[in-house]
Amino acid sequence: LSIVIIGAVLGPVLQTNESDPKSTFLSRCKKFNQYDCQRLWGAFEQAYVNKDPCNVPVQAYDPLIAAAPFKPQCNKMMFWSKTKVVVHGFTEKRKDCFVTLEDTVLGYALNGLTWCGKKGSNGTFTTACPRNCENNPVDSFWIRASAAYADVACGDVTAMLSGSTITPFDPTSTFAKVEVTRFKAPKVRSLNVVMVIQKNAKSNCKNASLQKLKKALHTGITYSCKDVSRIQECGSKPQIACKTCW
């Protein structure tokens, strides 16, 4: 009996054991229905399996992105930099207002995971995966997915940046390097920055780096920035209209 009980407890836990990316990927993917998850896993694997883990370029994920293209969700698309926890804590409660890359099948399935292959092996590994070389499997995926997600951006776009850093618009971030430059006018009408202000904030909307963000935007895209210190409020009160979140 005790074995049955242990099995019943461990079964569901092991199903999403992060040391087994395949089962995590498949179980997360299944929550979306409408996708052939086995086929997506196959398209994912081909990007890095049997390759030197420092030799997986961004384009290796083209077939994966093509197999699960991002759908434009005008006026709801949310981007972020250095605010991952706040953003997802918030979008989880207000899916009606905003969607992030992690709310799409690929972003959701791979969020927080580590993976790499090895030359001469057909396996997926989670330990000793390099992140310090340019063409590593994890960074290349996020760059490719971020580019594809930004490519379909439309309408009024939101970005949550962090007032807890000295440079909220960090030129080395994926948001700056990959996403902002892909927003196209007139498909994208505006970029609206929500500056997350927590206690002991180091910057706000007046920060000089935001002038660079404004300049980096293609002409025709309107820019705005708002310092928001009570981000939770909109998340905890579902009756607040999206427009009046801040």
The site for ligand N1C (CB under 6 A) is made up of 79-82, 84, 101-102, 107, 111, 138-139, 142, 146, 149, 173-175, 179
Q: Which of 37, 74, 97, 245 is catalytic?
A: 74
d(CA 210, CA 220): 17
- CB of residue 159 to ligand N1C, shortest distance in Å: 7
Q: Which residue matches tokens 């708002």?
A: 226
Answer for the pair 28, 108: CB distance below 8 angstroms, yes or no: yes
Task: Between 152 and 240, name the residue whose CB sits nearer to ligand N1C.
Answer: 152
Q: How far is CA 81 from the centre of its chain?
A: 10
What tokens appear for 99 in the block?
């969607």
Per the residue annotation, which of 97, 154, 225, 234 is the catalytic one? 154
Task: CB nearer to ligand N1C: give 121 or 224.
Answer: 224
For the question of residue 129 being annotated catalytic, the response is no
Query: Cβ closer to ligand N1C: 226 or 237?
Result: 226
Residue 10's alpha-carbon distances to 7, 18, 24, 230, in angstroms, are 5, 14, 15, 39
How far out from the chain centre does Cα 77 lie? Answer: 11
**Partners of 71 in the β-ladder:** none
Looking at the Cβ atoms of 49 and 153, the one nearer to ligand N1C is 153
DSSP lists the bridge partners of residue 117 as none
Q: Cα separation of 64 and 87, whole Å?
A: 25
Cβ atoms < 10 Å from Cβ of 223:
15
Which of 45, 173 has the CB closer to ligand N1C?
173
Question: With contact defined as beta carbons under 8 Å apart, do 123 and 137 qualify?
Answer: no
Tokens 């007139």 appear where? Answer: 186
We find the least distance from the C-beta atom of residue 142 to ligand N1C, in angstroms, to be: 4
Known catalytic membership, residue 234? no
Instruction: Report yes or no: 116 and 137 within 8 Å, Cβ to Cβ.
Output: yes
Residues labelled catalytic: 74, 154
